[in-house]
Amino acid sequence: MLWIDLFSQWNHDPHDLDRTIQLEQQSISLDNDNASAYAMMSRLYLYKKQYDLGIAAAERAIALVPNHVGGYVSLAGALAYSGKPAEAVEVAQKAMRLDPQRRDVYVGIEGVAYTFLGRYEEAIPDLKRALALYSNAIPYHLYLIACYVELGRNEEARAEAAEVMRINPQFSLAVEKQMSPIKELLLRDRLYADFGKAGLK
């Protein structure tokens, strides 16, 4: 999918995010009850730094299908990145209760929220479980780096940084920071300083 290519830095075309948003908007215009399209729109809005729209799109997905797990995962992401990580944890846990057999599919966003809250010891197992399913998901590797650096586990942080570069040898920390959907600037700067301490450039 285009948006995955974008946040993994496999595709550097700045217009692809807008094209992906247009495709999702077309899906919604064809079927205004498409909860999955609203859930995806929520994620895309974050990368445009349109946080209120991201939350609203996820809430629309849930309103259409009250047990739509993807809607809850998208809402958790929108809350975490918009500066409400404690609320994000609650929503992520609801998604996992709705679909406990696929808990590991959703646990990553809980790990991200724990990282934002500074609850690094709790974040690490969540992020590792997510990576067991999605080993090339660069954001999970990045947040593991931050957890390890903050806990003084520098060798493990460097190992995760090496894994990021294995996945994408062209990875750029400057590009990643520019694209980052994190709203809170102090949090963002601290995390990206951690990434740099582990050797990413």
Tell me the C-alpha to C-alpha distance, in Å, between residue 148 and each of 21, 117, 155, 169, 199: 34, 14, 8, 22, 13
CATH number of 26's domain: 1.25.40.10
How many other CB atoms are found less than 10 A from the CB of residue 121? 10
Structure tokens at 117: 């809250």
Q: Is 65 left (phi over 0), alpha (psi -120 to 50) or beta?
A: beta
What letter does residue 50 receive in the DSSP assignment? -
What's the average model confidence in pLDDT over 16-34? 86
How many other CB atoms are found less than 10 A from the CB of residue 30? 9
pTM as predicted: 0.93
Residue partners of 62: CB distance under 8 A and separation at least 6: 35, 68, 71, 72, 75
Tell me the C-alpha to C-alpha distance, in Å, between residue 162 and each of 138, 167, 195: 11, 9, 11
What's the average model confidence in pLDDT over 11-36? 83
Do 179 and 10 contact (CB within 8 A), yes or no? no
Q: What is the pLDDT of residue 12?
A: 60
> What domain count does the chain have?
1
Q: What's the pLDDT tens digit per position in 108-120?
A: 999 999 999 999 9
Q: What's the pLDDT tens digit per position in 5-20?
A: 666 676 666 677 888 8
**In whole numbers, what is the pLDDT of the chain averaged over residues?**
93
- Domain that includes residue 99, residue range: 2-197
How many other CB atoms are found less than 10 A from the CB of residue 104? 15
The secondary structure of the chain in percent helix, strand, coil, rounded to multiples of 5, reads 75, 0, 25
Q: What is the pLDDT of residue 27?
A: 85
CB-facing half-sphere around the CA of 49: CA atoms within 13 A: 9
